[in-house]
Structure 1
């Protein structure tokens, strides 16, 4: 049996006309759903019918129009909106598949491309209704594609229960921020393009205007929008749900001054500040909070200020006490150096104020984490060795392959591991490693330029003119893309170098991710015959009870 998934959409049903066929409790529920979406439900039932009490009340209150007739084919083409030639927008049949009329209405609707839903009859439907959780503008829908509405309802309740309260209100606030940024940046773009000053009435500060120059209008005008996208992607849901008007103001002002703070709506605890300031650089591991070292966990619990990279996972950020101010790096392409400088300056300021500052990084600080650069910077600022402490972390370069069932060193397969970056300083391509059959190579920060990397590995560069030339990688070399390792939405794409670009283009990207290449990739996971790639979703590596362990107990 061929499996399929539905094309899920959200329909703006305001002013639509929905026909409801039936008089039972489900008909009353369908009328309620129609009304809540802004549509106008019309009930088709004989005048002698005994309506369910909830349905009768809606009719009596004037919310539902009742056509006291048996269903006629012309109802589909005469009761709709004038602007679409009176064709109705959707039909809901609530009498079930055993009623002969259900099949007739379904055929007629399908022939005329009118959306139709028949209860308990997926084969007669062109659309189905989701089991929906509603919280203000936030709607979350679950479908089992006709396999069981009770199961969908159960899953929906479980998902809704796992969400923090007030998430709908946060959607409203963040939506207002997005709209305001779009409006202000549009006006700014027009003003600069025309060579005019910006009117003070749009509440735009002069210092924000200074960020945008004639030479780079398009790049600069999007900075706040890109920062807002980073917030939506990387702030933990609990923090997003607790977003305040002050946080919104900070977001709107976030690029007035790169030295300013956009901390998450919490004030510092004065009595918790250390009498002797210091900086702790710590790695947060690959993603799962149980992969933290005890030393880093204790640092999280005792810091006076936490400066976190944007890729530090939500599960780790959730461990931060509510009293502790947090600043998340405002890094995106083109702003990485400025955001790095901002964090370093904030760290030094915090130390000089007598605070214990935790610089929380992903993975391990010294494995492509720029930790060495930061320590060097702090030393130049006069911070002695005892003021700067570096704590190791579990690097994804070694843990991600394990979570993907790839043994980087495997007897008779791979006797060495090489960790490389796929992107050099300022986005330049680094020198590609040569192919060694017994080597497993892990490429970090490579997926955004995967096509270029594969080309560099499998063909000689123009600069490679002298013999002996680098050994090229066979295009059929097994490889794996591992994204969000150890997080609940971990994904592993297994393929070969000649197909990995196509696989990523088709499956999409889910950063952060890395590429593992070498024969070890297929030792425990050979592709099925005829398949060019496979996709594995989810993380199940720590399901033996660690989740409830108190990491600070030692």
Structure 2
């Protein structure tokens, strides 16, 4: 007797819902409501907000999206009759397909928090109308839940890709699901998002080159859900002249899509991610029996060219030879003794380097660790020649990287502590190479020239949990606060709040108040695979941290102009502007705010997850 697998209950039916053009009702106006709104907008849904709280108390993101026309409608609910209001909304808007209640979220603010009884009533109203509902922090009332999701960015641009993943623990480890997601994201080949986009282009080309009658489409073997699909290598009729002569448009289209599927399954991911239009055309041409003219063999390639193509390429497609991309590492030699080298620095010097360019201050004992067959060049820096020697090293590094070498730029101490490392990062980036910085052991952190003349390190939590008095604002100073991210609103308030009637003095603590627009970065789990950097201004960082979700301790804060100094093309003129503005505070403030706007690019904050593909490759 045939035995089929027995189902094990407790799982979710995981679907990819496409609400394009349909409305989603979001009840509440807190940060969770903003998150649900953003996710729904990315799915091309229309947003309807209903809130018992006044619109003035809604989170800043929702107010901004309303002002910018991203929210279709906003309804103010009567706190005593909001059940009836919801019923009327659903009856008047029959295109509402999902309801998300967010104002039941557990948190410190309970002023407008919805009760279990109220949420149960709305659940009953939705059930009568067969509208699925999810209720924050009340699983028994949920028809569906939002998994922990991630949408990948393209390597080739700053745009989001079509590749998404979702993780659920089915209520058994909700916090853990975020960690699982980060682990998957960090380990996934970074070329997959671009490969998805390229395969999408190839599919579109395959469909458009020989459309079927009446607009029919063949998606055979090329779908996200392969349940019930023909196995990729299922037996098919072997091609010969007689078979090809009897093929119709549907047969040709089906064979073309099978060929596209084979390419997606067996070609290297990096190769898929780098496909261009010419190669895509070759792929489709060689899938047709009339490719290149003449009769075809069983591979869909003309017999006159088959042998040549097989010797040239994978699957009969010519693959141009690509010169390996070189790399540049900025490596800190630490305090001097070889035992103080980091593991990463030693790996660069003894395993990875094919060329080493060293500052003259690096001790001979460290130079001696470099294998004898690796060329080592010591900088010719002496009084009056520092700029010339520096430029010579930069040119040599670029020359080696362009030839596919692994260049190690070895610097004493830490490359970023007044070691001109920042200048080198920007120079190499400008010429097409993003250097990997391997820190050296140092008693201080980064303070790029032209931005910071002083680095102050403090704690955000005093003894026995008491508040600490932070120093006043100095333009040329970078303030690093270790610990205390959980007290971020309080710390920001202490830095920026001005004394009544005195704009030049802080309400608490000595020194001048910090400008609201001053950059600040929160760095969590630094150097771990799930590192996260959230950067904004002092008046925007609290909202940014709430927006990105749960914290990832341990964390530290960096306050000052050093935060934006190495972004993009870089900005090392912060201190120079004081003289240029002739100490005119109004002019200086205007230049500073323009500097911040360039950095943020019209957004409220910057978020960077993980260490980046180059760092991850190095660690692996």
TM-score of the superposition, structure 1-length normalised? 0.41
Q: Which has the higher contact order (CA 8 A, sep 6+)?
A: 1
TM-score of the superposition, structure 2-length normalised? 0.37
